[in-house]
Each structure stands twice: as structure tokens, then as C-alpha cells.
Homo-oligomer: A and B are copies of this chain.
Amino acid sequence: MEKIKVGVLGSTGMVGQNYLCLLENHPWFEVSYVAASPQSAGKKYEQAVEKRWHMQNDIPSSIKELVVGDANSLERALNECSFVFSALEMDKEKIKKLESRYAKHIPVVSNASAHRWTNDVPMLIPEINPEHLDIIKEQQKKHKFKGFIVVKPNCTLQSYTIPVGALIKSGYEVNKLVVTTMQALSGAGYPGVSSLDIIDNIVPYISGEEEKNEQEPLKIFGKIEDRKIVPKRIDISCHCNRVPVVDGHTACVSLQFGNKMPELEEIIQIWNNFKSVPQELELPTAPKQPIVYRAEIDRPQPIKDRDIERGMVVSVGRLRECNIFDIRFVALSHNTIRGAAGGAILTAELLYAKGYLK
């Protein structure tokens, strides 16, 4: 099989670097084009990224020599790849327009938040709302796109929307969520958080994060009606904190069911047995068991659980009854893999398996 050629927009930023690492040796996709800001354009990738390369592994050798393109100019992208991952970091309105310009011609799978609330753009967690891809045809029709735009949601919420989504899919209504997050430093990009701000410290605020956590799950759990994704009604209240952890976002969740409450034992079974479309299709990046329940009293923990199945698993633990709502638990996922580039690659794999990419 010949691999599908893919471009990475915003390839010199931290999310872009993650894409390049995760796509090295991908069985279906091959990075044939890297784009960044005009300042980087024309340089070899290795020179363009230089001191900003911050992955544990070295730059993939197939990427080092690629000549970086200007992300604002579509010409090379349209010639050199079949679809693009967008890890653009610029003004939100500019990203919105630029991603739409690409979508006129080729598919865009985006990490950026710009199009998350465009109501004909699916915001996908492949295990939770794969059926939202059906909206793509409406999007294409409405905007006369040959390509399309699919986005992934905020990195933090993936830790708990997957276990909550598994409960909803098992027939349990979820009404209320109080969520307190303890978020990793890699979520702030590079250089991101100063060491002087976080060693021996926590910072109880992350700009924009609480709003995203309170709103995006509603669309993810929503339904397509009248050619639009109609958000579900759930009340979410979120406290977001930055903690001195390199990778892995943790969430403490109190949850109220809408109708009946399952036994705790049943919930654990639902989680451990949860499988969805990516597992059925055996997508290359899909974890075999997307949710792992840890029975140990003090888990999940970032250093012990973030890397399970190459960072694509959500680890859950400490399920117990809540004094105010129905249940409480702790959930953890790898923010730069499941929560960012890994989740987007899984989305692209789903798109490919469903025939949206050629």
C-alpha cells in the first residue's frame, strides 16, 4: 500500500513537533510537507525549528531535510499532500479563515480551537462521537468545500469525557459534573510556564480553560439534528489548575446521573469493557482498551499511567460514592498524545477507514 501524503501546518511549534514524531513510521500516513510561519519558510526543517525542538526523540530523519513552506500559501500543500493536520498557532480568526481556505481543496484535521463551535464542523473524540462525521457532507455542501474541516476538542476534557461518554453510551443519563483539573506543563507549549512559576507551586488558573471544559463536552455529546450538531444539556462546573507535572492531565470528577445510578461494580465493568468504532476498525493508533480502571487506591498517577498503550488510554480510578452527587472518580490522560496530536491522528485514521481521505 502506498502511504497517503500528509502536510503539517504549524510544524515547528510543540504540537507540530508531536505530530512529526507520532507520524514517524505510521502505517498509512507519510509526512510529505511541513509548513510554518513566513519567517521559517524556505529553510530546511532542522534549521527552522533549531533550538525550539523539544521532543524527547531527535527530529525524524525523514523530516530534517524537508524545506518548510509558508502556511499562508496553499500552493505547495495542494501539490504535495492529500490532507493536512493543522497545529497552527496564531490569532484565532486568522486560523479560522486559513483552515477554511485549505478546506476548499483538501481535508483539514485541526488541533486549533478556531472552528470548534462552527456548527457544521465535527469536534471529534473518535470513540465517543464518530457519527458526527456525517455532518461533513452538510459542511461541504454549504461552503462548497472539496475538502472539509474536522477538529479535536480541548486536551483536558478528554480525560473525563471518554469515561463519561462510555456511561452515556450504556444508557445512563449524566446531568451534572463538578470537575477539578490538575494540568501538565506541556499543555502550555514551549517555553510555556516559567520554572520560577511552578517549582514548589501550583497556579490555580489557566486562561480560557474552564470555559472550554464547560462547553465543549456539550457539543461532543450532542446529536445531529436539522443538519446541525445540537449540544446536549449537561451542567459542568470546572476548576483548572497548573501543576508541576510534565505530561498528563488529571481530573477529579463528581458526577450526578439524570435517571438511575448504576452500581459502582457495573460502572467499572462498563469502563473496562468499553470499545467503540476505532477498536472495531482496529485503527493503528487506537488503544485496544480505551479506558483502564485502576483498582489500586492511589491511582491513576501521571508518571505511572500516562504512557499506557503509547499514551492513548484514559486511566480511571478511585470510583466511589459522592456525598452530594452520585459518584466521584479520578481520570487521567496524556495531554499531548490522546489530548492532542495522537487524538487527531486517530481521527484521521477514522476518516480514512470511513472513506473520507484518499
Contact = CB atoms under 8 A, between A and B. Distances in A.
The CB with the most chain B CB atoms within 10 A, among A178, A192, A299, is that of A178
Interface string A155-198: 00000000000000000000010101010011000111111111
Tally of this chain's copies? 4
A169 to B, nearest CB: 23
B245 A200 contact: yes
Given A56-B304, A302-B201, A194 B196 contact: no
B317 A195 contact: no
A203 interface: yes
Nearest to A175: B324
B192 A303 contact: no
Interface of A: 54, 56, 176, 178, 180, 182, 185-186, 190-205, 214, 235-237, 239, 241, 243-246, 250, 252, 254, 297-304, 307, 317-318, 322-325, 328, 330
A304 B201 CA distance: 9
23 contacts: A178-B325, A182-B182, A182-B241, A191-B197, A192-B196, A195-B195, A195-B198, A199-B244, A200-B303, A201-B301, A202-B245, A202-B301, A203-B298, A203-B301, A204-B252, A204-B318, A204-B330, A214-B323, A236-B323, A236-B324, A237-B328, A241-B250, A241-B252
Nearest to A56: B304
